Chain A
Amino acid sequence: MLSRRLLKKLDFMLITVTLLLIATSLVIIGSATHINNPSEDRYWYVERQGLFALANFLLIFVMLHFDYKALSKYANILYGINLFMLLAVMFVGTSALGAQRWIQIGPISLQPSEFSKIIMIICLAHMLDKRTGRLNTIKDVLPIFIYVGVPFLLVLKQPDLGTSLVFMAILFGMLFVAGINMRLLMGIFAAGIAFMPIFWHFLKDYQKMRLLVFINPNVDPLGSGYHIIQSKIAIGSGLLFGKGLFGGTQSQLNFLPENHTDFIFAVIGEELGFVGASLVLMLYLILLYRGIKIAGAARDNFGTLLAAGIVSMLAFHVLVNVGMTAGIMPVTGIPLPLMSYGVSALTTNLVSLGILLNIYMRRQKILF
């Protein structure tokens, strides 16, 4: 068992915020799905999500027994497993909504690209650990880009533009914390923008459409533009205090598609109003703030990098998802952490938070 001393050092603020977010998520998923379901299974999504949350709490508790430092040792193996999973998806994966992202194992469909995010964070932390402070030239960072590039391209190929962009956010967040030379970073950004037209060329038509729709939703009002228009109507019509739980006409009457997954924040906006939605965002702010504190308090550089990667991932998710539902970000299919229905994402996010707890718990050198 964990020593009482270690347990005392848990980040109780982080735990509280996480539990509050999970609780909100279960209520909102229930609200978004109960109309669509035949009476017997109406809470199927809620039960499933809740069950997985519980299972993950257990997993985190077990994981807390092991020092996170061990992750560094397994980084290379994890990297291999990650590539294997992503390749497996290509060959045995099932597709939905035009992308091949899932592997069916028994009754559970796993989405390897979700897990690959946390794996990439661990691998990158391991790699950057030794290079911290020595990231000044192209030659220093090139191996890192190749290292991330392989899984990045595999995910992009699925195609899962959203997750591949998350990879980029993680990479740059961690490079930044690892002390990359600022001029080099700016140079890389400039090059990235210069290569944008080439990147555009590799996008699928529907991805191009989503980006075009973001710039002008009227390009495709019946297709991808539909989501944005309806989502904005849902959020906007929530006014200050919302229409009350289960009271959102947009979400309840099926005007809003994907309302329990990617567009769940629109349900929050419609049913809980500006006040409720801002409170939810506040919870995320506290969560991220704690993450950054943990990065600062970690006992070693590996811990700092891990925490920085996790914060980058979560922050990017929140920004892009909420931005998308509010019509200021393109539709990329990135779920809202801890809130959207989806057990693979939930597992990844909770395991990430578990790692944060682990880092914080071991923030000082343990005396034997």
Chain B
Amino acid sequence: MPVVKRDTQRLDVLAILVVFIFVALVSRLGYLQVVQGKYYERLADGNRIKLIPVMAPRGIFYDRNGVPLVSNRPGFTVTLVPISGPIAPEVITKLAGILGMDPADIQNKVKQHAGSFEPIRVKTDIGPDLVTKIEERKAELPGVVIEIQPIRNYMNNELAAHIFGYVGEINDAELEKRKKDGYKLGDIIGKFGLEKVYDREIRGQDGGGQVEVDVTGRPVQVLGKKEPLPGNNLVLTIDYRIQRAAEQAIDEQLTYLQTKTEYINAKSAAAVVMNPKTGEILAMASRPVFNPNLFNGGISAKDWRMLNENPFHPMDNKAISGEYPPGSTFKIITGAAALELGKVTPEEKILDTGKHWIIPKGNAMGEALGWINFREALSKSDNVYFYEMGNRLGIDNLEKYARAFGLGAFTGINLPGESDGLVANRRYKERVYGEDWYLSETFDAAIGQGFQLATPLQMVVVMSQIANGGHRYKPYLVSKITSPTGETLKTFGPEETGQVKISPANLTLIREALREVTLEGGTAAYVFGDFPLAIAGKTGTAENPHGDDHGWFVAYGPYDDPRIAVAIIVEQGGFGASSAVPIAKKIFEAAFNINQPPAENAKLYKPKTAI
């Protein structure tokens, strides 16, 4: 075997290297354990290192023109940091006294957090007076710490409350469901509205620090800090000006109806404004309303009782969850079905003697319009004519067209709590009442009464389909998600979910008839008489077995180039023409800058996505 000459010199170098590594490591140990040992001992002693979470600010909501509507503001929060064993009961009693809380409530929170080292949030957003009081008595309150935390700020209080929703501390059921997504006890979570739907996108990422705290739990030194990551922003399709105008108009109209007319129970209403060419919701309002700021840091028992016991349900977004008989607004659908299926010609005249000849049902006020054709019947909302259309169509065709227009199904808007309404049909009656279908029920269905139920949102979609030629767009509220630095992360656009086929000639006829509604002789002429903008619309008055009739108005404008469609309901407001139509007028005024105060005139309204 040949003896290979080996380079032992290099092995020596290797040996020196190994000794060097040893010396380096031992030196480091000496530094940590001997030189700095006392420092680290102090840190380790009694677990004085705490992870203090720093809450991330939630994303900001902007209207379509960049006006901020929901943001955050700093607020003081009282937390308990169980640093050296559990918080003493007398501390809790004292703290409860200062904060005006029930000590049992605080005890409960402490119990919920048992076994966790995380700080316990006792009360969010306390005033400066309480901050001073607690700071003055901090020696008596070991473990009580005041932190600054972002508080959700709904800048216009009630404005668009049902769209935005509100936030609150995560509850057990939500925690169970979302634990795997990293949600923790004490997290703030969206409970309703867009806050709920987009919670994941807008919540951001909490930061925190490893903080050295003293025996009372107060931070002494920050060892490491991670800044919280603000949540992503939502750019909404809402137009702040239209939204505000719609809400003001509703409030004024409800006050007017309650005080100046016999409709003293007109306390609930809803309005939806949509771009008929895209499905963008420009405004959506519901009354009565709540102030989402009240929910920040836990709503008080008194406020919650007031909201809960209000018989008009302020927490419901009636624009999407309220189900009402569509009344005469449904005649648009009955009419379209009759024309499309050739059950009537535009020219054919039918005699209205005040009552239908098969079943003696007539017009609301008992009036008789004589010989009338389609155009007159729709613009004057004649019941007898449409009973006859129902008679000719039959309930199955009515059902088919109602569904083709999107009734009886969820529109798919990105808000929680939508209702799907009800389309009158044989199967429903069979299933619920176990009875056969009667002709009189077809009559009721043809004029939007009886079993028919629709939400204002569904009706604005129906009107949009007339305006845009039959395309059904999914209504949506968010056009963009942007990062805190303003980059666009995601954009949303129109989404067509269905189509109703109506021939151009029939469509033109229906549109002309709806246009005449706001012209002299039409049902809405009284309000829109000399309006500078051409509006097409349809009033409705829905019978309400529990009180006064509900007033409806659905409309779009401008007539030649529809950019805005609205649906409005005033519960127990009486006739649509006198309750809902005035609200629509103010919405159109705001949208098209008509009769606005001079300051507002400066900012001309131009829908960004108008085609």
Contacts and interface: CB of A to CB of B under 8 A. Distances in A.
Contacts of B39: 236
B51 interface: yes
Given A221-B210, A239-B33, A240-B34, A281 B11 contact: no
Contacts of B26: 278, 281
A145 B33 CA distance: 41
A285 B24 CA distance: 12
B503 interface: no
Contacts of B210: 221-222, 226, 229
B41 interface: yes
A345 interface: no
B139 interface: no
Nearest to B37: A239
Contacts of A87: none
Contacts of B1: 300, 365
A142 B21 CA distance: 29
Contacts of B114: none
The A interface, classified by DSSP as helix, strand, loop or mixed, is helix
Interface in B34-57: 34, 36-41, 43-45, 47, 49, 51
A21 interface: no
A288 B51 contact: no
B209 interface: yes
Nearest to A287: B18
A277 interface: yes
Interface in A91-136: 132-133
Nearest to B19: A285
Interface residues of A, number: 60
Contact of A300 (B4, B13, B21, B224): B4
A257 B210 CA distance: 15
Interface string A230-244: 101111111110000
B93 to A, nearest CB: 30
B311 to A, nearest CB: 49
Contact of A301 (B6, B8, B15): B6
Interface stretch (A28-36, A46-54, A73-81, A289-297): A289-297
Nearest to A226: B210
B14 A233 contact: no
Given A221-B225, A233-B43, A274-B30, A308 B37 contact: no
Interface string A212-235: 000001111111011001101111
Contacts of B30: 274
Interface residues of B, number: 43
B225 A218 contact: yes
Contacts of A292: 11, 14-15, 18
A299 B40 CA distance: 50
Contacts of B45: 237, 249
Nearest to A235: B32
B171 to A, nearest CB: 25
A217 B224 contact: yes
Interface string A265-296: 00001100110011001101100110010011
Contacts of B224: 217-218, 221, 225, 229
B33 A236 contact: yes
Contact of B49 (A233, A288, A315): A233
Interface in A326-354: 326-328
A281 B22 contact: yes
Contacts of B208: 221-222
Nearest to A312: B14
Contacts of B28: 323, 326-328
B226 interface: yes
Contacts of B41: 236-237, 239
A308 B13 CA distance: 12
A192 B495 CA distance: 53
Contacts, number: 145
Contact of B37 (A240, A253, A289, A327): A240
Nearest to A318: B21
A177 B37 contact: no
B3 to A, nearest CB: 9
A133 B1 CA distance: 18
Which residue, of A235, A308, A315, has the highest number of chain B Cβ atoms within 10 A? A235
B12 to A, nearest CB: 8
A147 interface: no
Contacts of B4: 132, 300-301
A304 B8 CA distance: 10
Interface string A304-326: 10001001100100110011001
B301 interface: no
Contacts of B36: 236
B29 A235 contact: yes
A326 B10 contact: no
A158 interface: no
B299 interface: no
Contact of B18 (A133, A223, A250, A315): A315
B223 A326 contact: no
A175 to B, nearest CB: 10
Interface string B344-356: 0000000000000
A57 interface: no
B52 to A, nearest CB: 10
B25 interface: yes
B37 A255 contact: no
A140 to B, nearest CB: 16
B229 to A, nearest CB: 12
A95 to B, nearest CB: 17
B418 to A, nearest CB: 39
Among A233, A249, A274, max chain B CB count under 10 A is at A233
Nearest to A321: B25
Contacts of A300: 1, 4
A232 B40 contact: yes
16 contacts: A173-B14, A176-B10, A221-B208, A229-B49, A229-B223, A230-B49, A236-B37, A237-B41, A239-B33, A240-B34, A269-B32, A274-B33, A278-B26, A281-B22, A292-B15, A328-B24
A-B residue pairs, 8 tightest by C-beta: A236-B40, A221-B224, A237-B44, A274-B33, A218-B224, A236-B32, A237-B41, A239-B37
Given A233-B44, A269-B32, 6 more contacts: A218-B224, A220-B226, A222-B208, A236-B32, A281-B29, A285-B22
